Each structure stands twice: as structure tokens, then as C-alpha cells.
Chains A and B, each alone.
Chain A
Amino acid sequence: MLTVLISTIVLAIVGLALGLLIGFAAKKFDVEVDPRVESVQELLPGANCGGCGYAGCADFASAIIHQNADPSNCNSVSSEALKKIGLIAGHEITVRERKVAVVFCSGSYSHTSHHEEYNGIMDCRSASLVGDGDKECHYGCLGYGSCARVCKSGAIEIRDRLAFVHPELCIGCGRCTQVCPRKLIRLVPITAKVHIYCSSLNKPLKKRASCMNPCLACKKCARTDSSAVVIQPNLLQINYSNPPAPDFPERVKCPTGVLATAEQHLKLELLPANCTCGKETKKK
């Protein structure tokens, strides 16, 4: 009994002494830590995707508090969480729309003309350094899948040397937009369901010669609804500040089918091997 008592006392004394020591040290070497950073970090998704431009969620949280970074730079944070972050950080936060990535090209390998063979690293950024890729259209998708490799949510699929985004999987981090050497991938509001899948600024004749699904700038869509599209030289784009309804493609009946919803675009059919319809465009 005495042993237990004494050992308890000894332990208590040692514990007390060490506790005092720690308390003293904590006081002496105190470092201010902002508790708000931690609570902001808890509200961030924690995927550390780097889409916001910071090294990770923790870094971003600290930037929100200390450098007034805009929390809506994170595309994957929900609007409720954004509001809460705004309350914590104490600055006004405009709730931004969620965005998804879109690859603005429909030129799969069998739909485009391509004349030379490429022998090198199977990576878009490396391939673009050698004669700028093997497809004739120098605005289109190279299709070596750099974007698919950096996508953390597996939303990008490469099919017949063309990248497709599955919008339901995309978290809008924007990493793919940074790696694409052709800058084909852009983030658009998730409410926009219809896109014009072409980025080529070539003249319509040249486009026709190099690709089966280009935007020929015929302006049929603009005639259908002029507020839905933005007219640029040789290329039309969807007006993303006023995106058209999903039935827009049916109403327009785009002659090349480049104006389509994501679902329609994903079904972009591959040419059967003996198809002759593309022959005259494939020959230069």
C-alpha cells in the first residue's frame, strides 16, 4: 500500500514539475497562431488540388486570412462553405458559380487530316515542341492526354486522340487548363449545357480541309438566337454570360454538329474503317 502511495506521489510530483516546465516554456517561446486559419481550412475541400494557385488547402486558408485571397478561387468549395468562410475571414465574398472544364475541339484522329508520323514522347506539351503535333489543325486537341494525367478526379477521357470531359465528374479545379499547350480547355459555368466544340481561328475553307467537325462560322446559330452566341472572326462561341437552353442544338441543327450538349459531344461517333465520307477532307 505504501509503495502505491509513494509511487503515486512521485509520479504526481514529476508530472507537476514537468507541467510547470512546459507551461513556462510555452509562455516564454509563445508564437501567435491565428485560430481562424484552422477553421477556414476545415471548410475547404482538403483535396490539395492546387487549383486556387496555392500550394494546398492549408496554404490557401492562410492566404485567405492574411493576404485577403479570394476564397472563391477554389472551384470545389460549396456556396454555404463560402459564406461561412466570408464570416470567419470578415471580408465580403461574392458567391461564384461552380465551373466545369470543356475541351473546345471535336477533331478526333479519324475526323481530322494528319500527314506525318510522330516519334517521340507521348505527352502533349512535349509533342507540341516538335513541329507542333501531327494533326493538320494547329488549334485542335493533340490527344496525347496530358490533361487526363493531371486530372485528379478522372473526369477526362481520351478517345481516338481527342480529350472529352465528363462534366458530372469534373470538380473544376482547372489543372487541365494549365497543362494544355493549345489552351483548348477553359472553365465555363456549370449551368451552360451547350458548347461550340471548336477553337480553330483558321479560315473556314482551311478548317474544312483539315477537320470534319469544325465551326465553319456559318452563323446559323446566331440567326437562331443572336444573344446565345458571341461572333468572332472565323469562329463562334457560346455566350457564357447568357447560356442557351439544352434544346438549343435541336433548334439550330448545326451543319457540322459542332454545336452540341456535353452528352451529344460525348457520343461523337467514330468513323467506321470503310467509311468514305471523310475521304475528300482527309486528302489534302
Chain B
Amino acid sequence: MSLTNFKIWHFRGGVHPYDGKELSNQVPAQYAPLLEKYYVVLRQNIGKPPKLIVEKGQHVAKGQKIAEADGFVSAPLHAPTSGTVGDVADIPGANGPNVPAIEIIADGKDEWDTGLEPIKDWRQADITDLRHRIAEAGIVGMGGAAFPCHIKLTPPIEKIIDTLILNGAECEPYLTADHRLMLERTKAVLEGAAIAAKILNVERILLGIEDNKPDAIEALNKLADQYGVTVVPLPVRYPQGGEKQLIYALTGRCVMTGGLPMDVGCVVQNVGSCAAIYDAVAEGHPLIERYTTITGTPVVNPSTWIVRIGTPVREALGFAGGTKSHAAKLIMGGPMMGFAQMTLDVTVTKNTSGILLLSAKETGAYTSDPCIRCGRCVDNCPMHLQPGSISVMVESEHFHEAEHLNVMDCMECGVCAYVCPAKRPLVQHFRRAKSEIIAERQAAKAKAAMKHS
């Protein structure tokens, strides 16, 4: 498809941080070696955690389902390798201190038995079957939110969907997982997208990719026509890969406050999820491994690895050669939106796009200095909020004012805290405000329900 005259809308705000991608973007991704033990965290998706269906001591094959979906908004889990099921115990998780995890003790044979037949001629297959396959394979949004994928592909009947958007922007600094994926598994990404498009019955497939990945763009363009995908290079600007920003950049449509992409006729899928869809449908493999960037200046060999879900971070860092200097922070995800971790015992989950170590020099320490109202956060906020004013309101516990200042629209991209000269922990203030407001809304709802009954 020709790229000439493709109009790109530019969102207002955003920043351009040092992206650190040159550390790892030229290193081909490698398969991680097999480990002795994996710890698969039970709760890996938004919604309800899946139900455990194996017992301690039971033998499982690679790709065998070990937990099944509990309800609609839920995704099953699969064994990362063949072996024995160990304890189900609480371990430190990526976003909570005590999360139950299933221990899988590898037997070293690494034998597949998924019980899923490859659907080679998916173009002729029934849409319901395809959807079912994606749900069974446990695919979730692999960009970060971990929203079960099959739900996105089942829009309510009254919503008209006309565009499938593939998110290959990878605007987070340091991360190169999607970059390597698009370069090395181009066919899988595009074919997965075509499958998703068939399910959604849409003609238009747009792939947004930041133009700092020319090799990936070239590789995609070679095959794009074959699958009806338009590859759109976008200017490098964080958060170009934010869902709302990406939709705006590619289509000029604004997702309304509190709305969903499907309200404006779009469905957004991460390129990693597309590759996983391809694997699930055409190969019959569930989601048990993913591209993950292990990077940062303290890492000896920053590189991208195909690691299995449940790999402890300590081992993953070992793949990349370990550390060579002092690290101040361990981050799951990118430096702008990732979660800092307190121990190396956390494990890789379906949405771990990167494992990042930052030295003390690179990370900025937050202070409790006052807001000087410079307005840089207002100028740069991609959601057009007033982060400074909101944080002042939260600081003095005026949550209603914060709500009036639309704190609930904040997507926690971190641009405001990145530019704040007072180095205020703005995102933490917003999380606090959101949790308070949600708690209050739930209390009000409960009260109303009580009055009603």
C-alpha cells in the first residue's frame, strides 16, 4: 500500500526522552535456556484470575493448561515446559507483594502437548472457532495492560468497527522487544493481524510504528501488502504508543473521556499479541513465552530474549550476562510506566515487555518540594490535564477538586513527572487520588444499593 498522502495527526504534548534503544536494538533475539524451576503467577490479566486445575506432584506437558479461565474477563495459563507441578505459594509479584504462583519443576524434556490443533487454513475457518482458540491460548494485551485479547476481538454488536490498529510504536525508552519481534517475526505479526482483522471483519489494518526503527519498517513493508496492512511510520514522541494517542495519530479520532477505542470504531492490538495470535491459530501453541528486553547500563549484554512466562528475573538477568555495576532500580517494563521492583525474585509475566536496570545516575530521585506552577506539565500532558494543580489538591487531600480537574482521565504516562523541575512524585499523587475516588464511588454505589433494597 502506498504511504504517500497518509495523514498523520499529531497529538499535543508528550516528550522525547533519551531512548537508550541503541543498547539492545541490534542484537538478535535469542531463545532463553531452559531453567530448573518456573513460577507462573496466577493473576496475569486484568479481570478475574484463572482457576487452578492441576495438583501438586502432577506431571504436565509443555503448553498444557494449568489454570482455566474463570468467567469471561479472564485468561487461562499454560505450563512453560514439561515437568512436575510443585507448590502453589505466595511470591513477590510484579505489582503486589504476595501473589500466589504455581511452581513448575522442569523435567528437561521440554515436550509439547497442548491439545490445540493448528488451524492452517484459518481463512476458511469459522470466526467463533478462531475466537475460541485465542481465548484458549491465554492471550492478553502484551503491551502492558494485560487485558484478555479475545474480549477486544468480541466487540458488542452495536459498535461499528472499521479499523484494526496494530501498536508497534514501542515509545517506551530502552525497550526493543517489539522492534526485534517485528523484524524477526514479521510474517507472524502480519498474519496474526490478518486473523484478528478477519475476526473483526474489518478491511483497514494500520500498523503504527515510530520511525526510529527503519529496519523493522522496511521488513514490514516487504510483506505488508500481502496481508492488507498499511505500515505508518510515526514521529518519535512519547507516548506515541498510548492507545488514545495512537488512534488519534492514525485516524484523527478522539476517544472520549471514559470511552473505549471501540466507541470510535477502532480496536488496538499490540504487535506481540498479534504474533501470539498467529502462534495460537496457525501453530497451535498457547502463550508461554514472549519477547522481553533485558537491558540497562548496569547489564553486561543488553539484549532481547525470548523468555518463558514464569522465569525469575534473577535468572533472566543471568541470560544477559548479569550486572557489571551498581543498579539503583529494577523495573518491569519501560522506565516511563514500568513498575519498580524490590527483589530479584519476581517473575516474568505475559505483559513483561522489558526487564530494566537503571543506575542511580539515570534515575531521578523524587523530592517533596512544592509545585512552582511553571506549567511544564500542563504544556506536555498528552491528556491535556493540569497535573501540577491536581497534585497540589491531592497533597492537601482535596480529592473532589482533583476529580473536577479530571484526574480520572490520567493514564499515568509519567510525562508530567519527567519534566517537573521540582521532581514531584506526580504519578503517585494521581494513583492515590484515583484509588480514593474509586473507593468513594464504590461506597456511594453500595450506599445507593442499600437504600434501594
Binding site for B on A (CB under 8 A): 115-116, 119-123, 125-126, 129-132, 134, 138
Contact = CB atoms under 8 A, between A and B. Distances in A.
A115 B432 contact: no
Contacts of A126: 425, 428-429, 431-432
A129 B340 contact: no
A132 B97 CA distance: 7
Contact of B425 (A115, A120, A134): A120
Nearest to B339: A131
Contacts of B258: none
Nearest to A137: B97
Nearest to A115: B342
Interface of A is mostly: loop
Given A126-B429, A129-B435, A131-B341, A119 B365 contact: yes
Interface residues of B, number: 19
Interface of B: 96-98, 339-343, 365-366, 368, 395, 425, 428-429, 431-432, 435-436
B425 A121 contact: yes
B365 A131 contact: no
Most chain B CB within 10 A, of A126, A132, A134, is at A126
Nearest to A123: B432
B428 A120 contact: yes
21 contacts: A115-B343, A116-B343, A119-B365, A119-B366, A120-B425, A120-B428, A121-B368, A121-B425, A121-B429, A121-B432, A125-B435, A126-B425, A126-B428, A126-B429, A126-B432, A129-B432, A129-B435, A130-B340, A131-B340, A132-B97, A134-B342
B97 A138 contact: yes
Nearest to B435: A129
Contacts of B428: 120-121, 126, 129-130
Nearest to B436: A125
A118 B341 CA distance: 11
A254 to B, nearest CB: 26
Most chain B CB within 10 A, of A120, A121, A123, A125, is at A121
B366 A125 contact: no
B342 A116 contact: yes
Q: Give the 7 A-B CB pairs with smallest separation, nearest first.
A: A116-B342, A132-B97, A126-B432, A120-B425, A138-B97, A129-B431, A120-B428
Contacts of B431: 126, 129
